[in-house]
């Protein structure tokens, strides 16, 4: 019987796919949970956090050409596009 691999491995493989094809769908699928987590840590309100998460991705989509190193997408999303909370 095969054992389930740790979630970190799944996340790494998903992140790798997203960095290769930086489509809006791939970015959201891979990083929405991380962005929402940061928003929740600051806002402590799910509704406001979801709105801010959406704003972060909209801003990121319009500035995708400013990403210099595709291997740092997660940090780029969490740092560069973080709204003032």
What digits encode the pLDDT tens for the residues 6-47? 444 344 444 444 445 788 999 999 999 999 999 999 999 999
Indicate whether 55 belongs to any domain. yes
Percent of the chain with pLDDT over 70: 69
Indicate whether 19 belongs to any domain. no
Indicate whether 40 belongs to any domain. yes
Residue-number span of the structural domain to which 73 is assigned = 32-85
What pLDDT shows up at residue 11?
A: 46
Indicate whether 41 belongs to any domain. yes
Indicate whether 20 belongs to any domain. no
Q: Is the pTM of this model over 0.75?
A: no
The number of distinct structural domains making up the chain is 1
Indicate whether 14 belongs to any domain. no
What pLDDT shows up at residue 19?
A: 44
Indicate whether 27 belongs to any domain. no
Indicate whether 12 belongs to any domain. no
HSE, side-chain direction, 13 A CA sphere, residue 8: 0
Residue 59 has pLDDT above 70, yes or no: yes
């Amino acid at each position: 019987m095969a054992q389930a691999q740790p979630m970190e491995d799944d996340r790494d493989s998903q992140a790798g796919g997203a960095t290769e094809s930086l489509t809006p769908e791939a970015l959201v699928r891979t990083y929405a949970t991380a962005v929402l987590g940061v928003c929740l840590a600051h806002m402590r309100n799910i509704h406001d956090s979801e709105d801010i998460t959406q704003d972060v991705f909209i801003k990121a989509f319009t500035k995708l050409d400013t990403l210099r190193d595709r291997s740092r997408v997660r940090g780029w999303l969490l740092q560069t596009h973080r709204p003032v909370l």
